[in-house]
Amino acid sequence: MRIIGGKYRGKKLFSPQSEAVRPTSDRAREALFNILRSKLGSDFSNLKLIDIFAGSGAFGLEAVSQGFGKVCLVDIDLSSAAKNAAMFVAEKNKITLLQDDATKLFKVGDVFDVLFMDAPYNKGLSEKALLAAAERKILNKNALCLIEVEKNESCNLPSQYELLETRNYGIAKILLARFMG
């Protein structure tokens, strides 16, 4: 597992020890950052991203490498994410690690422009976490949301979100949505 673009391109990340952590593939991450550039432009420096169900933290750390101003990694178990984040010493002021239940998000005290979520597949957790994000008001109006689910998994977006498009990458399906507020 490695960073695929930006300032730290090629930097190796620690792979998670747990079988329960399934990082987003390099190919999917590259495609998602291309989508973000097409929707938001190439300057991410004033944007804040929250990575919910962060696992290894690979997506959020990719965001740091690609120039996001602030990144928050949220997971109930931050051991893998913390180990990887520690390798980004020069960027430590941009990275927040937050141990929290992603379906409740009680501890998040900021508002974000981009949400990335990669919940354990086929457990119905994405819908719960999206509801929590809306209820806790952690997203700016029109925030872009990238929601990864298993390709055959249904994900009914809460009414506060508008589905923009769906893309498949191997066993994963990415829902691109906008938070309507």
Please give the structure tokens belonging to residue 146. Answer: 């990238």
Q: Are 155 and 129 in contact (CB under 8 A)?
A: no
How far lies 162's CA from each of 86, 142, 158, in Å? Answer: 35, 9, 9
pLDDT of residue 27: 79
How far lies 130's CA from each of 8, 41, 123, in Å? Answer: 30, 25, 14
Mean pLDDT per 10-residue section of the chain, whose length is 181 residues: 91 74 72 93 96 94 97 95 96 97 91 96 95 97 97 95 94 95 85
Range of the domain at 130: 6-179
Residue with tokens 């390798």: 87
First to last CA, the chain: 35
Residue 115 domain-assigned (yes or no): yes
Residue 1 domain-assigned (yes or no): no
pLDDT of residue 36: 95
Q: What amino acid occupies position 96?
A: T
Backbone angles phi, psi at 144, to 5 degrees: -85, 135
Task: Report the CATH number at residue 109.
Answer: 3.40.50.150
Residue 79 domain-assigned (yes or no): yes
pLDDT of residue 22: 59
pLDDT of residue 123: 94
pLDDT of residue 16: 67
Please give the structure tokens belonging to residue 19. Answer: 């079988």
How many domains does the chain fold into? Answer: 1
pLDDT of residue 70: 98
